[in-house]
Chains A and B, each alone.
Chain A
Amino acid sequence: MIRKNPFVYYGQKLLIFILSVLLLSVVVFYVSRLAPGDPLVSYYGDRVEKMSVEERRWAEDKLGLNDPIHVQYVRWVENALEGNFGISYKYKMDVLEVIGGRLANTMILGGVGFVLIFVLALGLGIFCAWHEDNWLDRVICKVGTITSCIPEFWLSLVLILIFAVNLRWLPSSGAYSVGNKDDILDRVVHLILPMTVTVVNHLWYYAYMIRNKLLEEVRTEYVLLAKSKGLSKKNILFKHCLRNIIPSYLSIMAISVPHILGGTYIVETVFSYPGIGTLSYESARYQDYNLLMILCILSGIVVILCNMIAQVINERIDPRMRENEIAETSEVTNVG
């Protein structure tokens, strides 16, 4: 098989990336504008109802809502290229400013959560595979299945009920206590419950996947050869089996980044945690177009980027993928 030179390879990927983001922005722009609802409500609030026809028209002109959609889109792109993404109708601020602090909050919750999930899932998966069908493995599998079935919002509610309402150990909402914005410890305390929910909710899905992939590897014949040459169980599991599943685990984890970040959204809502999640919901609900655009494009970039990383891992790191290209030759070409 012919390997492309890396420059061309990554150049192609970059091109696809830019095109996808552009396409995404078009779709979001059109869909958001076609959806039912009145964007003026988010700007003027209840006053909209009392507006006369002329006032309404003036307001729409001011926000540029009366032009055909493609004109609006071109204008938006032009401004965006200059770094001006418009103002939020609701907050009456530059959208970048609105997002700023909340993005960091979400990144902390999602990012740390992701790392925790990644590491714990690996450990737990290997542990279960090592003790396959042992009582330990069985208990963990049972508990894991149950935890993965608990909806995030319900787990959040129960944890709040126990630790905030009844025991009063932990705060139930916000990212920090009033007036304690720069107190790191206070922020950490506020993170405990949301983080727990995020990790518990996703952990078993990935741990179980690792366990099953490992158990599949263990059933291949090369394990027998490795064993017959005198390799110990530990070495076979780590040096052979784990090594073979790592590329696919990495690529799956890459695709999962948006899922885990997206999962924090519900958690943010229940815990009133000021993050991107709550903001996205509001912007979609109230037709806050500029805010919606930037949020969609941000999440789109994350999704597309993660997808590409996964693809690169598959195509470049795992030697078996190269093998498959050769194997996929005998396809039926014609029906009599």
Chain B
Amino acid sequence: MDKQFIQVGIRRIPAPATKKTKWYEGKPIVSMVILGIIVLGCVCCDLFIPKDPTYMDLYHTNVAPNGEFWFGTDTMGRDIFSMIWYGGRISLFIGFFATVISTAAAILFGAISGIEPKWLDNLLMRLTDIFLSIPGLLLIIFIQAILGRANVLSISFVIGITGWTSIAKVVRTEVRQIRNSEYVVAARCMGAGFQRILWKHLTPNFISSIMFMVVMNIRGAIAAESTLSFMGIGLSLEVISWGSMLSLADKALLSGSWWIILIPGVFLIATMVAVTNIGNWLRKSANRKESNL
């Protein structure tokens, strides 16, 4: 009989090597790099900034960008290049801290609403709806206006407590869904307690679905801080942040010093665009589906 036609039965054949996708494929690399540079630069700014950002050099006010002052100086004679990195710390910190506050509030609120009985859920959600339809920035401005001048912590707090609503809604829906999902039912049947279900099952699962909104919140908080400071109810001129740098814009407009307006603005927007892109990528990677059209 032919050798080829010998019955050999089942033979293990090595599984074909699956093509490994490169780690960077599909990731917003440019945004990540830009954000990385900005964050790193702000954190380590003491190492490289050429001038003292708080020093007001009255002989050199309103200097256009040149060899000595790379980004020029502001109306008070401070070096903008140094201020950008130095002030970025405050702006980023506020963005981060306000988001921590709002996320914590949102998770608490959403989780209560998701777990508690229907009437409380209805009440809380109505409240959230109303809160959601009040323009956040306006609310912040009102609260700040009533409170008067702010410091870094109070401004983060005000921004934080006004930005939790949309996350709370998502948390609530997710909690409801996960709570009724079969793996939670299975865990309950096994006798898992509330703590375990909360930390092992609920939290890891809804974190991914709110990641996008949390990232977007960072962006919103940075923008809110700059707007507040610009309006003159945020940080004072002495506390350097991107927002407070822009609050000199009125005077700059009169003297036509474009660099005072444009340069901090570009940094601000670059940060926000990078954050947005990363946020969008987080959302997209959560669900991929093909078009039927």
A–B interface present (Cβ within 8 A): yes
Q: B41 within 8 Å of A by Cβ?
A: no
Query: Can you report 6 residue pairs joining A to B where beta carbons are below 8 Å apart?
Result: A36-B148, A157-B249, A161-B261, A284-B145, A307-B130, A332-B179
Q: B231 within 8 Å of A by Cβ?
A: yes
B156-164, B185-193, B202-210: which lies at the interface: B185-193
Q: A336 within 8 Å of B by Cβ?
A: yes
**Is B293 a contact of A233 with CB atoms below 8 Å?**
yes
B47-55, B76-84, B132-140: which lies at the interface: B132-140
**Is A218 a contact of B291 with CB atoms below 8 Å?**
yes
| Chain A nearest Cβ from B155, distance in angstroms | 15
Complex: A221 Cα to B290 Cα, angstroms: 11
Complex: A280 Cα to B290 Cα, angstroms: 48
Interface residues on A, range: 35 or more
Q: A132 within 8 Å of B by Cβ?
A: yes
Known contacts A281-B145, A307-B129, A259 near B135 by CB under 8 Å: yes
| Chain A nearest Cβ from B212, distance in angstroms | 12
What 9 new A-B contacts, CB under 8 Å, besides A161-B258, A233-B293?
A35-B146, A149-B269, A151-B227, A153-B227, A154-B226, A215-B291, A218-B291, A227-B293, A303-B130
B8-16, B63-71, B100-108, B272-280: which lies at the interface: B272-280
Complex: A306 Cα to B133 Cα, angstroms: 8
Chain A-chain B contacts (Cβ-Cβ < 8 Å), number: 132
Considering the complex, give the chain A residue whose CB is closest to the CB of B290: A219
Q: B286 within 8 Å of A by Cβ?
A: no
Known contacts A265-B138, A285-B145, A223 near B226 by CB under 8 Å: no
Report A179-219 CB contacts with B as 1/0, cut-off 8 Å: 00000000000000000000000000000000000010011
Q: Which residues of A contact B (CB under 8 A)?
A: 20, 31-32, 35-37, 132, 145-146, 148-154, 157-158, 160-161, 165-166, 172, 215, 218-221, 223-224, 227, 233, 236-237, 241, 255, 258-259, 261-263, 265-266, 269, 280-281, 284-285, 303-304, 306-307, 330-332, 335-336
CB contacts (< 8 Å) of A269 on chain B: these are: 231
**Is B272 a contact of A330 with CB atoms below 8 Å?**
no
Considering the complex, give the chain B residue whose CB is closest to the CB of A141: B280
Considering the complex, give the chain A residue whose CB is closest to the CB of B233: A285
**Is A307 a contact of B133 with CB atoms below 8 Å?**
yes
Interface of A is mostly: helix
Interface centre among B132, B133, B134, B269 (most CB of A within 10 A): B133
**Is B261 a contact of A336 with CB atoms below 8 Å?**
no
- Selected from A150, A218, A259, A331, the residue in CB contact (under 8 A) with B292 is A218
Complex: A145 Cα to B138 Cα, angstroms: 22
**Is A220 a contact of B146 with CB atoms below 8 Å?**
no
**Is B276 a contact of A266 with CB atoms below 8 Å?**
no
Interface centre among B145, B261, B276, B292 (most CB of A within 10 A): B292
**Is A132 a contact of B231 with CB atoms below 8 Å?**
no
**Is B262 a contact of A223 with CB atoms below 8 Å?**
no
Complex: A269 Cα to B227 Cα, angstroms: 11
Complex: A261 Cα to B278 Cα, angstroms: 29
Complex: A153 Cα to B231 Cα, angstroms: 9
Interface size on B, residues (CB 8 A): 47
**Is B262 a contact of A158 with CB atoms below 8 Å?**
yes
CB contacts (< 8 Å) of A172 on chain B: these are: 253
For chain B, residues 198 to 247, give those with C-beta under 8 angstroms from any C-beta of chain A.
Answer: 219, 223, 226-227, 230-231, 233, 246
CB contacts (< 8 Å) of A32 on chain B: these are: 146
Known contacts A149-B272, A218-B291, A330 near B135 by CB under 8 Å: no
CB contacts (< 8 Å) of A259 on chain B: these are: 133, 135
**Is B146 a contact of A150 with CB atoms below 8 Å?**
no
**Is B292 a contact of A258 with CB atoms below 8 Å?**
no
Known contacts A149-B273, A285-B145, A154 near B265 by CB under 8 Å: yes
**Is A218 a contact of B129 with CB atoms below 8 Å?**
no
CB contacts (< 8 Å) of A157 on chain B: these are: 246, 249, 253, 261, 265
- Selected from B137, B141, B231, B293, the residue in CB contact (under 8 A) with A237 is B293
CB contacts (< 8 Å) of A265 on chain B: these are: 135, 137-138, 141
Q: B4 within 8 Å of A by Cβ?
A: no
**Is B289 a contact of A219 with CB atoms below 8 Å?**
yes
| Chain B nearest Cβ from A331, distance in angstroms | 6
Q: B183 within 8 Å of A by Cβ?
A: no
Interface centre among A146, A215, A236 (most CB of B within 10 A): A146
**Is B292 a contact of A219 with CB atoms below 8 Å?**
yes
Known contacts A149-B272, A157-B249, A307-B129, A262 near B146 by CB under 8 Å: no
CB contacts (< 8 Å) of A266 on chain B: these are: 137, 227, 231
| Chain A nearest Cβ from B259, distance in angstroms | 11
Considering the complex, give the chain B residue whose CB is closest to the CB of A331: B180
- Selected from B130, B219, B230, B269, the residue in CB contact (under 8 A) with A146 is B269
| Chain A nearest Cβ from B185, distance in angstroms | 7
Report B255-274 CB contacts with A as 1/0, cut-off 8 Å: 01010011001001100110
Complex: A303 Cα to B183 Cα, angstroms: 40
Known contacts A37-B146, A161-B258, A336-B191, A262 near B291 by CB under 8 Å: no
Complex: A306 Cα to B258 Cα, angstroms: 40
Report B141-171 CB contacts with A as 1/0, cut-off 8 Å: 1100111100000000000000000000000
Known contacts A145-B280, A151-B227, A152-B227, A258 near B134 by CB under 8 Å: yes
**Is B261 a contact of A158 with CB atoms below 8 Å?**
yes
CB contacts (< 8 Å) of A151 on chain B: these are: 223, 226-227, 230, 268-269
Known contacts A149-B219, A259-B133, A331-B180, A284 near B293 by CB under 8 Å: no
Complex: A228 Cα to B191 Cα, angstroms: 49
| Chain B nearest Cβ from A312, distance in angstroms | 13
CB contacts (< 8 Å) of A331 on chain B: these are: 180
